[in-house]
Amino acid sequence: MERKQGFFSALKDEVIRGLSPVRSRSKSPARSASPISGLLRRRPKQLTNGDPLVARSGSLTGETLAPLYEGPDQDRSELGDSKRVGSAIGQWMKGQLSRAPSMTATMAYKHRSDLRLLLGVMGAPLAPVHVSTTDPLPHLSIKDTPIETSSAQYILQQYTAASGGQKLQNTIKNAYAMGKVKMVASEFETASRVVKNKHAARAADTGGFVLWQMNPDMWYVELAVGGSKVHAGCNGNLVWRHTPWLGAHTAKGPVRPLRRALQGLDPRTTASMFTDAKCVGEKKINGEDCFILKICADPQTLKARSEGPAEIIRHVLFGYFSQKTGLIVHMEDSHLTRIQTTGGDAVYWETTINSSMDDYRPVEGLMIAHSGHSVVTLFRFGEMAMSHTKTRMEEAWSIEEVAFNVPGLSIDCFIPPADLKSTSFSETSELPEGERGKSALMVAGHRAKVAALV
């Protein structure tokens, strides 16, 4: 109780004085401090053992964080010294790196490429369809309603009740969550061989994220991993994303929720997401019987997200709701992108994200998942059967802080950055500069595999 009161006291004081995500975006992103830096001036949590997924460090909940280096670091051995001088997380990472063997130039380049891929795909992916939390859930109806639809409505009613009830959810005007993440590229497969990351635990990049949400349909997320930072936001009318290698861009297509918020953090948006879903069956997930709800992006949304040679063919989302608890415990979304290169064969990228949500605990009456794990698979294939590649990436996360109805939070916190480019975020613009010498086929493919989730 003493710790919770200390957090909310600091939270209230700093927010009322004007600390918000918009403050950090009023400057150049490369020199801006994290919007949560002032909120985290409290005693670090004690380290705990027995957590194999997410490295538990008090660094993210300790001292004020200095500005992050914007971009994959050129020399990991200097990360703690020059890029986060004086910060607790910098000192922790410096200690970790000092025990690791020195990296060769090839290893360093591969790490930067892997980090860019991890941040591009798992940093701030969006849900497949537009959702507005202002729209009420449909009334349960059986008459003249297909059994797949009426069953889905019943499952959503049970989920809403298990999550805390619609009456309580309607009292939530804004929300804040902070957590830790651990990402790694664990496997790469070609037609001739499979290369597994034997030292995945040591090669994993660790960091943290902060998420702000506010009605109606506004959100802002900031993710810092491996010395680099990705942030994205939505002011209700426009979705944008900033990466160190592209700067700030708007996202193509309609406004869509942040997928990370659907992973057990935002029950109301999750229920709204599956409003038009159909129940397509049952399946046992991690020993638990679940109902399966399915939604698909409509052709208009897919067309709006497509650009140039990149065409989004389909985007499907499955939600697995526990028959025992009523809560969503697993989520899988898959989408297919077609890239037509000039004078060459079409190349297809299929991106699949499987996420499991665990450790549900009540926070002010709402059931929130406090940990989870995601597995991302990028599968490239084309006309030639022997030209396929498959990349497997993993992310584990844990939630450290959750708060609702934060005093002083306003719509000014969700204003897009001043340097937002007028051009939309392209599906074919994520290729690193150093890889532009590759063939046109590989160029289109590598660009699309990172951007296809947006």
How is 373-391 classified by DSSP, letter by letter? Answer: EEEEEEEEEESSGGG-EEE
Measured distance CA(206)–CA(447) in Å, rounded: 24
Using the CB atoms, write b or e for 12-44: b if 16+ within 10 Å.
Answer: eebbeeebbbbbbbeeebeebbbbbbbbbeeee
Out of 54-63, 76-85, 151-160, which region has the weakest mean confidence (pLDDT)? 76-85
Measured distance CA(22)–CA(229) in Å, rounded: 16
CA count, 13 A, side-chain hemisphere, 290? 21
**Residue type at position 293:** L
Tokens encoding 291: 């109902």
Measured distance CA(338)–CA(348) in Å, rounded: 5
pLDDT above 80: residue 322:
yes
User: What domain range includes position 251?
Assistant: 2-451
Predicted local confidence at residue 207, as pLDDT: 95
Quick one: which of 427, 94, 130 has its CA closest to 301? 130
- For the stretch 61-88, pLDDT in tens is 444 444 444 434 434 333 333 333 334 4
**DSSP assignment, residue 124?**
S
Mean pLDDT within 372-391? 85
Predicted local confidence at residue 384, as pLDDT: 67
CA torsion sign for 52, 54, 60, 61 is negative
Measured distance CA(219)–CA(453) in Å, rounded: 17
Tokens encoding 194: 């499979």
Tokens encoding 241: 């994303």
Quick one: which of 30, 96, 149 has its CA closest to 419? 30
**Residue type at position 104:** T
The three-state secondary structure class of 88 is helix
pLDDT above 50: residue 153:
yes
Tokens encoding 366: 């709402």
pLDDT above 60: residue 444:
no
Tokens encoding 348: 């297809």
Mean pLDDT within 175-179? 97
Measured distance CA(253)–CA(56) in Å, rounded: 37
Does residue 211 contact residue 265 with C-beta atoms inside 8 Å? yes
Predicted local confidence at residue 132, as pLDDT: 80
The three-state secondary structure class of 9 is helix
Where in 43-162 does DSSP place strands (E)? none
Measured distance CA(406)–CA(385) in Å, rounded: 54
Predicted local confidence at residue 109, as pLDDT: 55
Look over the chain and give the mean of its residue pLDDT values, rounded to a whole number: 76
**DSSP assignment, residue 44?**
P
Residues 6+ apart with CB under 8 A from 232: 123, 124, 220, 221, 239, 240, 241, 242, 258
At 33, the pLDDT band (50, 70, 90 cuts) reads very low
Predicted local confidence at residue 42, as pLDDT: 40
Measured distance CA(354)–CA(174) in Å, rounded: 27
pTM of the complete model: 0.74
Size of the chain in residues:
454
Predicted local confidence at residue 396, as pLDDT: 96
> Residue 353's beta-bridge partner residues?
333, 376
Q: Is the pLDDT higher at 93 or at 385?
A: 385
Mean pLDDT within 308-330? 95
Q: How many Cβ atoms from other residues are within 10 Å of residue 110's Cβ?
A: 14
Predicted local confidence at residue 370, as pLDDT: 98
Measured distance CA(315)–CA(337) in Å, rounded: 9
- Tally the domains of the chain: 1
Quick one: which of 22, 21, 420, 33 has its CA closest to 239? 420
Residue written as token pair 């063939």: 439
Predicted local confidence at residue 44, as pLDDT: 38
Measured distance CA(292)–CA(277) in Å, rounded: 10
Instruction: Provide the percentage of residues in the chain whose pLDDT is more than 90.
Output: 46
Tokens encoding 332: 């899988």
CA count, 13 A, side-chain hemisphere, 84? 29
C-alpha torsion angle, residues 412, 415, 418, 420 (rounded to 10): 180
- Phi first, then psi, for residue 163 (nearest 5°) are -80, -10
Tokens encoding 99: 């025990």
